[in-house]
Amino acid sequence: MAETVGIWFAAFLTLAIFSFLYKDNPFYKFAEHLFTGVSAAYWMSVAFWSQVHPNLFGNIWWPEAFVRRFLEFTYVWVDHVELDGQIYAANALIDGSLTPEMIQRAELVNDIRVMYYIPLILGILFFTRLVPKIAYLSRWPLAFVMGMAAGLRLYSFLQSNAMEQISATIAPLAGTPTAAEAINNLVVLIGVFTGLVYFYFSREHKGLFGSLSRVGVYFLMVSFGAAFGYTVMARVSLLLGRFQFLIGDWLGTLTGAGS
C-alpha cells in the first residue's frame, strides 16, 4: 500500500514537472519547491551524518559526563567499554550486549583524540568571515584546504592528464598495422597542434598562424558537437526513464501489472 502511494505521488510530481513545458502553473511550482526543499534537507543531512559526524564529531574527545548524558551516541564517542573486568565493543548498547544502566556503571575507554580539535578549530575559523573585524582568520583554513588539495592532486594530474596524454598523442605516423591507424594518428596530431595554436594569444591570429588557428577552431567545434550530441543522448535517456516509470510502474498499478 505504502509503495503504491509512493508511486502515485512520484507520478503526480513527474507530471507536475512536465506541465511546465505547456506553461508555468501552480502544480509545477509546488513540485519545484518541494524538490528544492527536500534536496537541500537531504544533502545537508547526508553531509552531516556521512562527513562531519564520522570524520569529526564521532572522533573527537568528549568529556565523560557529556558522553554519559547522551548514551545513544556512545558507539561513536568511545573506543570500547569495560565492565566487571570484561571488554565490550563500542556499539554494545546498540547490539544489546549492554543496557544503559550497565553502561552508566562501566568505564568508557577513549583514546586521546585531541588532534581532532585542530580541524574543529579550522572549521570554526571559516565562520569568522561573518565577523568583518576578524574575517582575515578565515584565510587560514582556506590556505590549509588549498595546500592539501594541491598536494593531493598535483601528482595525479601531472601523471594522468599531462604525461600519459602527451605520451598517447605522440603516436607513429608510419609503420602502423593499418593505414587507417596512421591517418587517425595524423588527425590527432593536427588537432592537438592547431588546437594549441588557437589558444596561443601572444601573437595576432592572421596569415598562416591565423589559418592554423581556424583549423583548430574546427577541431574544437567537432569536440563541442560530440559533447552536445552525448548530452542530448543523456537527456533523452532521462526522459525515457521517466516515461518507463509512468508506463511501467504507475500505469502498472492501475492494470495490476506493475509493482
- The answer to whether the CB of 81 falls within 8 A of the CB of 109 is yes
Does 39 bind another protein (CB under 8 A)? Our answer is no
For another protein, which stretch binds (CB under 8 A), given 24-32, 114-122, 196-204, 238-246?
238-246
Near another protein by CB under 8 A: residue from 1, 65, 130, 233: 233
Does 54 bind another protein (CB under 8 A)? Our answer is yes
Backbone phi, psi, residue 108, to 5° = -90, 115
Backbone phi, psi, residue 128, to 5° = -70, -15
Question: In this structure, what C-alpha cell is assigned to residue 38?
Answer: 527536500
Closer by beta carbon to another protein, 61 or else 75: 75
Cα dihedral sign for 103, 105, 110, 114? positive
Does 152 bind another protein (CB under 8 A)? Our answer is yes
Contact positions with another protein (CB under 8 A) in 92-151 = none
Does 173 bind another protein (CB under 8 A)? Our answer is no
- The answer to whether the CB of 76 falls within 8 A of the CB of 54 is yes
* CA 178 to centroid of chain Cα atoms: 42
Does 36 bind another protein (CB under 8 A)? Our answer is no
Residue 135 CB, nearest distance to another protein (Å)? 28
Per-residue binding letters, 57-76, with another protein (x by CB under 8 A): --------------------
DSSP secondary structure code for residue 107 in this structure: E
Q: If DSSP states are collapsed to H, E and C, what string results for 55-101? A: HHHCCCCCCHHHHHHCHHHHHHHCCEEEECCEEEECCHHHHCCCCHH
Near another protein by CB under 8 A: residue from 178, 237, 255, 259: 237
**Footprint of another protein (CB under 8 A):** 21-22, 46, 50-51, 54-55, 91, 152-153, 155-157, 159-161, 164-165, 167-168, 223, 226-227, 230-234, 236-241, 243-244, 247
